[in-house]
Amino acid sequence: MTAKLRVGIIGAGRIGKVHAETLAFRLPEADLVAIADPDVAAASTLAAHCGTPKVVRDVAEIFADRMIDAVLICSPTATHAEFVIQAARAGKHVFCEKPIDHSLQKIDRALREVSKFGVKFQGGIQPAFRRQFCPGAKCGGARPDRNPLPYAHHQPRPGATTHVLHSVFRRDLSGHDDS
């Protein structure tokens, strides 16, 4: 039997919770061993829910932990590129939520470090319904030209007025809510 992949999550917010639950309850090949977040209470609540033994405030503890094989970066976008670099330098494989950064230079720098240190990297994507994935007349029983699939995401429809988000928050979530 192959050993389980030991994973640490950075970020206990909305998307961190989604990934933590996936690791804890749906992927028997992985073991969620640590959660890092400056909001230790949020990380502790998530860790208790997922049966995760370690909670830390400082992400440096995740990178320094020799028992962790890989990290999921689920923190705010402004931290992604730097955390990718730190993880690569620590020899951790990386899954990074999108976007890696808003700067191509920072993205290039982060990916150079991934390559330099030989770790595996996967960037998060959200394959929503798109015509290019449905070249025929039917796609899951729907006709894209006549009966497009509904917008299926946990955020309100684009342009909805039910939620008013601060512009910085909207910018950070924008990578998760496109269709």
Summarize pLDDT for 93-152 with one digit per residue, the tens.
Answer: 999 999 999 999 999 999 999 999 999 999 987 665 555 555 554 455 544 444 443 333
What is the spatial distance between Cα 126 and Cα 16, in angstroms, rounded to a whole number?
Answer: 15
Q: How far apart are CA 88 and CA 120, in angstroms?
A: 9
pTM over 0.85: no
pLDDT grade for 168, boundaries at 50, 70 and 90: very low
Mean local confidence (pLDDT), 79-102: 97
Q: Copy the structure tokens of residue 40.
A: 């230790």
Q: Given this model, what pLDDT does residue 158 score?
A: 46
Q: Which CATH class is domain 5-123?
A: alpha beta
User: What does the alpha-carbon distance between residue 7 and residue 141 come to, in Å, rounded to a whole number?
Assistant: 38
Q: What are the boundaries of each domain within the chain?
A: 5-123, 129-179
DSSP state of 142: B
Contact between 23 and 9 (Cβ < 8 Å):
yes
The pLDDT tens digits of the residues spanning 20-70 come to: 999 999 999 999 999 999 999 999 999 999 999 999 999 999 999 999 999
Tokens, residue 35: 């959660």
